[in-house]
Amino acid sequence: MTRTCLSVVLAAGEGTRMKSRRTKVLHEVAGRPLVAHVLASAAEAGTDAVAIVVGRDAEAVAALGRGMVDGVQCFEQTERLGTAHAVVAARAAIAEGYDDVLVLFGDTPLLSAATLSEARRQLADGAAVCVVGFEAADPAGYGRLLMDGAELLAIREDKDATPEERRVRLCNSGVMALDGRRALSLLDRVGNANAKAEFYLTDVVEIARADGLGVRVVLADEAETLGVNTRGDLALVEHLWQERRRAEMMAAGVTLIAPQTVFFSADTAIEADVVIEPNVVFGPGVSVGSGTVIHAFSHVEGARIGADVAIGPYARLRPGTDIEPKARVGNFVEIKNTKLGTGAKVNHLTYLGDASVGPRSNIGAGTITCNYDGYNKYRTSIGADAFVGSNSSLVAPVVIGDGAYVGSGSVVTEDVPDEALAVGRARQVTKPGRGAEINARNAARKAGRT
User: Catalytic residue positions?
Assistant: 348
Compute CA 240 distance to the chain's CA centroid, rounded to the nearest angstrom. 14
Residue 415's alpha-carbon distances to 292, 335, 381, 418, in angstroms, are: 34, 22, 9, 10
- C-alpha 216/C-alpha 125 separation (Å) is 10
Q: What is the dihedral of CA 260, 238, 275, 288, to 10 degrees?
A: -170
- C-alpha 359/C-alpha 344 separation (Å) is 5
- C-alpha 343/C-alpha 144 separation (Å) is 61
Beta strands at 28-29 and 32-33: parallel, antiparallel or unpaired: antiparallel
- Quick one: residue 279, left, alpha or beta (phi over 0 = left, psi -120 to 50 = alpha)? left
- C-alpha 24/C-alpha 240 separation (Å) is 18
Cβ distance 396 to 380 under 8 Å?
yes
Cβ distance 25 to 142 under 8 Å?
no
- C-alpha 175/C-alpha 223 separation (Å) is 14
